[in-house]
Structure 1
Amino acid sequence: MSQNAQPEKALTNVTAPSHWTAGHIRAINSDSIETAPAFGPDDFSAVGNKIDIWDAWPVQDADGHPSLISHDEVLWMALAAPRFDDPEERHGHARIYLLLRKGKEWINLGPLMPDGFSPGSREWSGSAVLGADRRTLVLYFTATGLRGESVITFTQRMFSTRATLVKDDTGYHFENWRDLTEVIPLKPDWYMPSDAGNGKIGTIKAFRDPGYFFDPATGRHYLFFAASKAFSHSAFNGVVGAAFCDDPSRDEWHVMPPLVSADELNNELERPHVVLHKGLYYLFWSTQAHVFNPEGPTGPTGLYGMVASALTGDWKPVNGSGLVFANPLDAPKQAYSWLVMPDLKVTSFADQWGPVELADGERRFGGTFAPDIQLWLDGDRAGLIK
């Protein structure tokens, strides 16, 4: 079956999309918002001296747990770029880097893929699964722009590729990159082309961030991704998209309609991912205050989520609003790009920590891992263990 074919059973079982609405955001109680602990420069350290990193994910087993390479070593991937005076410049230079976490130490192993292998001018977020042989990697990632372009564009395409894990005298690396495939082709009936917006931060349209999940209840593989609703009348038309695969080799993926829609509310539901906990599925995403519709209401920058008894829906916002937790009120930009692990540990990167105001020439971008925090989940309620 081709990638574009749509098996009837896939569509008849979907209750979609579930809507995240202005009414949910109005349900946020400003007097009792769950907020992450504040942190400062003594609470994090750089991964290397010359790069900034942001969106990160572990090399994982199929069940979602980070793959232990040895008793205390785990490989991670993160978007990285040279350190600029203006941190926003990093987005135009992003590549996926390989990192080694050994105990509490982070070691920078350099760019993951060979120069010129990616079909884009930049590499954006994804996920990575290590096979049962402990050697074969499947990487899902976003190729942004076009290789060799002279003017940066924001076309986003999602690819899969395979490589082989090697350990030698130089350490860990992946070699024999192969099987590069556009794993989730655009379905224009459901998803807006990613080049429909412009390059201004907060207005870029999405077709990115493939996050892998294996459903033990059905034996089906899923990829969740950030997208934009097709034929929307609003500039704020973010959705969570999905694709599934029943093929054990994970070569034949089938695109599904959006699972969650924030049409007219929010432009970007970034890095969506799923955690299965006590028989319920929790779909999480990150978003920022400045990508909500300015006509209101506006939620804080934070981790949001919905819960359902099946991946096909019906999805209900956790805590009645969707907000799991926000950044501290006096440091509303301190962290971003939260990723919830199966053990409910939450990782993110240190963004603009501290108060919003910056002195002239001050650079307060962390550009590294923020301190981990711990989540609790109980039915349709969620919060932080502090």
Structure 2
Amino acid sequence: MTNEADGERSVPRWTRSHAKRIERSDASVAPVVYPPDEEMDPDLHVWDTWFLRERDGTIAEIDGYRVVFSLTAPADLLPGTRHDVATIRYFYSRDGRNWQCGGPVFADDAPFGSRQWAGSALYDDGTVYVYYTAAGTRGEDELSYTQRIAVGAGGTVETGSDELTIAGPFDHEILLEPDGTIYERESQACGMIYTFRDPWFFEDPATGETCLLFEANTPIPDPEEDDRFEGDPSHLEFNGSVGVAVSPSGDPTEWELDEPLLEGVGTNQELERPHVVVDDGRYYLFFSSHDHTFAPGLEGVDALYGFVADSLRGEYVPVNESGLVVTNPASAPFQTYSWVVYPHREELLVSSFFNYYDLRGLSLDDVAELPPAEQQRRFGGTLAPTVRLDVSGTDTRVRDVLEHGHLPLPREELPPLLSADRGSDDDGDGDERVLSSRKGEY
């Protein structure tokens, strides 16, 4: 942690006191989700999705097409094993509703990692840069969890009347590895799986600074003397952070590690898929996290969390006092995950994927013990309904939802809100709100 007495920036924190305020409410709970009539691709499990974007963060539109990238795996695999074979595929659409799979983005030329985990994608002067997490080691016999931040650079986009193709070859390079001082190495990790992943390209509109955000962990050299644990150093393994690297020249393949934007030391171990949205001059830092990655004594939920500051390296404070932005109903706590926020006209939209549903009180550990057919039946594996989010200063509120996989075009006007408050049930967990073209029973 930097020292304010020496004139250096002190890294903002997500504290245990913040997290103790986490509570489902009408403002944060999204409607119950049911399966769509059509999946994004019935042959694939699809999760962790991101747009092809321009340097300024706008969604790229190429000859009327937009492109998203997703982690994918064959749909006949058990959902719990999909991360072991994750491959980045790209999908394209003209209407933001119907998505066509273009295939694996890298074909067979990705030399790093035994599989690929989430990242981001930049379209700059006709060139595609796909940032990703190289997980494991190419050719390993037993899966490992080494994580390095990599890029495939040099792709091009070709379009026709009814198709879009991303073509290589890509020049692959390992961009960043943890240094052991600012960001924890795997050998330093204590207990839970460590993190150094999820690169997200961001160019600061105020300063022009070119950055790459990522999920990481903060090394704890002396937990007995570290006040971030608030008197309980037994929470040593809960040390998540939002890291950042800077490109001094603006070159999207050259990066230097910098101090974290935010730390969750003593509070949470995984601050996943961090990204920044600038709205009305404020910088909103969003990330996803699980209920089980909160430190003992905290009752978190699977959710999108957010912090706000007046600059990229400002003094971030949690939105809604706790950081909770969007979560699932208590009756369907794992129905969506991996949220990404992006601006659309005068509001913010939130994309995620349809995760586990119809659990009837089962935990995710319980799901792993079900027969294979039941595990498959209860996993969505496609894009979830898009959430419409109202943001005002440090307050946010779930306004409404669109259909599964509806990622609106920039010029598209959205329908009027269903209602001002979307209705609520007696206990405020949002369980009466539903969105489905095919409602079933839980």
TM-score normalised by structure 1 residue count: 0.89
Query: Equivalents in 1 of 2:7, 2:256: separation in Å?
Result: 14
Instruction: Work out the CA distance in 2 between the residues paired with 1:211 and 1:176.
Output: 21
1:383 matched to which residue of 2? 397
Matches within 5 A, 1:274-285: 274-285=276-287
Cα distance, 1:32 vs. partner?
5.3
Aligned with residue 220 of structure 1, among 202, 206, 209 = 209
Deviation by residue 1:128-152 (Cα, 9 ceiling, x = unmatched): 1111x3x211221110011111111
**Structure 1: 5+ residue runs without aligned partners?**
1-11
Shift of 1:31: 5.5
Flag as ranges the 4+ runs of structure 1 deviating above 6 A: none
Please tell me whether residue 239 in structure 1 is matched to residue 241 in structure 2: yes
1:21/1:178 CA distance change after superposition, 3 Å: same
Asked whether the 8 Å contact 1:219–1:246 carries over to 2, the reply is no
User: Do the aligned residues in 2 keep the contact of 1:118 with 1:143 (CA within 8 Å)?
Assistant: no
Distance 1:136 1:316 in 2: 36
C-alpha separation between the residues in 1 aligned to 2:119 and 2:98?
A: 23
> Which moved further from structure 2: 365-374 or 33-42?
33-42
1:57 to 2:46 alignment: no
**1:109 is the counterpart of 2:102:** yes
Which moves more between the two structures, 338-347 or 187-196?
Answer: 187-196
Matched, 1:250 2:252: yes
* 2:86 aligned residue (90, 94, 107): 94
Cα distance in 2, alignment partners of residues 220 and 19 from structure 1: 23
Contact 1:16 1:257 in 2 (8 A): no
**Contact kept? 2:158, 2:167, Cα under 8 Å:** no
1:89-168 equivalences under 5 Å are: 89-103=81-95, 104-131=97-124, 133=125, 135-167=126-158
Q: Which has the larger radius of gyration?
A: 2
> Partner amino acid for 2:108?
D
1:14 is displaced (CA, Å) by 6.5
Q: Does 1:68 align with 2:61?
A: yes
8 A contact 2:69–2:90 mirrored in 1: yes
SS at match of 1:332: coil
Inter-CA distance 90–68: structure 2 relative to 1 (3 Å threshold): same
Offset of 1:49 from its aligned partner? 2.4
Residues 1:351 and 2:360 are matched in the alignment: no
Q: Note the C-alpha offset of 1:168.
A: 5.9
Native 8 Å contact 2:355 2:381 kept in 1: yes
Q: Percent same amino acid among aligned pairs?
A: 35
Give the distance between the partners of 1:271 and 1:246, measured in 2 at CA: 23
Q: Structure 2: where are the runs of 5+ without partners?
A: 1-5, 224-235, 401-442
Structure 1 position 320, deviation (Å): 0.7
Q: TM-score, normalised by structure 2?
A: 0.78
Q: Distance in 2 between matches of 1:238 and 1:317?
A: 16
Paired letter, 1:252: E
Answer yes or no: is 1:301 the counterpart of 2:302: yes
Distance 1:222 1:168 in 2: 30
Q: In the alignment, is the contact (CA less than 8 A) between 1:333 and 1:356 conserved in 2?
A: no
Task: Label 1:32 to 1:48 Cα distance change in 2 as closer, same or farther (>3 A).
Answer: closer
1:225, 1:242 within 8 Å by CA — same for their partners in 2? Answer: yes
Q: Identify which of 14, 17, 29 aligns with 2:11.
A: 17
Output the aligned Cα RMSD.
Answer: 2.2
